[in-house]
Structure 1
């Protein structure tokens, strides 16, 4: 696992759509797709993968993950929501994302929310998460190496890699489960308000 730092550098972990990169004018679908492809191309696992497609955008609209568009154009707020969806769909189901973003969509429609401020907070947290992640990965590499027994040393590189993969997937599952429980709490809160 000598190449773990190279792997991390290739992941595009810092890729995000900054507020000053979002045009102040509404964009057509093809322009939105091009913006996302340019911005998030380094985050793709394979070159053939698509960051965003017409079908995805249409499904987000039909599924009410984003508030309705006007004149076939997407506003700054739509782009912010699509950026959030892009990140959330790595761990959550489309239905969980809808539940998570439903309140934000309603606040946007009612003009009760300054989405720029919320998104800035989100970007600040993601930057800190990347820094924390880099430190954590180094600790995990050390922990994995310590777990390899003397008998396993001959197969060490392969076994280290399998242990690292297993450890990372386990951590990912732990974080995802907490996120899903928080989504469930949103649903429970909505149900409780409905019955009052």
Structure 2
């Protein structure tokens, strides 16, 4: 179990694209992809996995997950939105992401809203969540050890891994379902 704790503790769970990472000049799609690949390389599960592709960006644009680009160049605001989409897509459907970002996409192009301040708040929360995550995994690991001791089985290493995986997935599902309920509330408010 110590190996699992070490793997999770060393995972790049708090690696996010910061405002300092984003240039103040507009970027072409290839530059956007390169920026994201470089920043999130450590989060890829294997070398063949792509963080962001032209197809993904085009699908986000067609799905209206972010406001239209100018002259095939992506602004700092676009990169912030793509970063948020990158984080949300692991748990939410494209339709849920579109609904979640719809009001923001209306405000940002009209200079009604400072998305950089919102993104900084997001980054602060993400940092706090990363610390909480490590503590929660340690606590969860201890609870799994207690349950394994009750089983008295020869294959306890595998069973520890299995219980920890199912426990982490259970927590992930609970958080995802809570987020989906909030998305549904946004949808109801927009329909009203």
Deviation per CA, 1:158-192, whole angstroms, max 9, x where unpaired? 11111111101100000000000000000011111
**1:155, distance to aligned residue in structure 2 (A):** 1.7
Cα distance in 1 for partners of 2:42, 2:10 equals: 7
Once the two structures are TM-superposed, the CA of residue 5 in structure 1 deviates from its matched residue by: 3.0
Runs of 4+, deviation exceeding 6 Å: none
Matched with 2:117 is 117
What is the Cα deviation at residue 6 of structure 1?
Answer: 2.7
Question: TM (normalized to structure 1)?
Answer: 0.95
The alpha-carbon deviation at position 4 of structure 1 amounts to 1.9
Matched, 1:96 2:96: yes
**Separation in structure 1 between the aligned mates of residue 73 and residue 110 of structure 2, nearest angstrom:** 19
Contact 1:40 1:51 in 2 (8 A): yes
**Equivalent in the alignment of 2:2:** 2
**Cα RMSD, aligned residues only:** 1.1
Tell me, in whole angstroms, the C-alpha distance in 1 between the residues paired with 2:125 and 2:114. 18
1:11 CA displacement: 2.6
- Unpaired runs of 5+ residues, structure 1, are none
Partner in structure 1 of residue 48 of structure 2: 48
Q: Hey, what's the Cα distance between the residues in 1 that align with 2:136 and 2:101?
A: 29
Relative contact order, higher structure (CA 8 A, sep 6+): 2
1:31 corresponds to 2:31: yes
Q: Secondary structure of the residue that 1:159 maps to in structure 2?
A: helix
Structure 2 spans left out of the alignment, 5+ residues: none
Following the alignment from structure 1 to structure 2, what is the Cα–Cα distance between the partners of residues 13 and 167? 18
2 CA distance for matches of 1:83 and 1:62? 17
Matches within 5 A, 1:140-155: 140-155=140-155
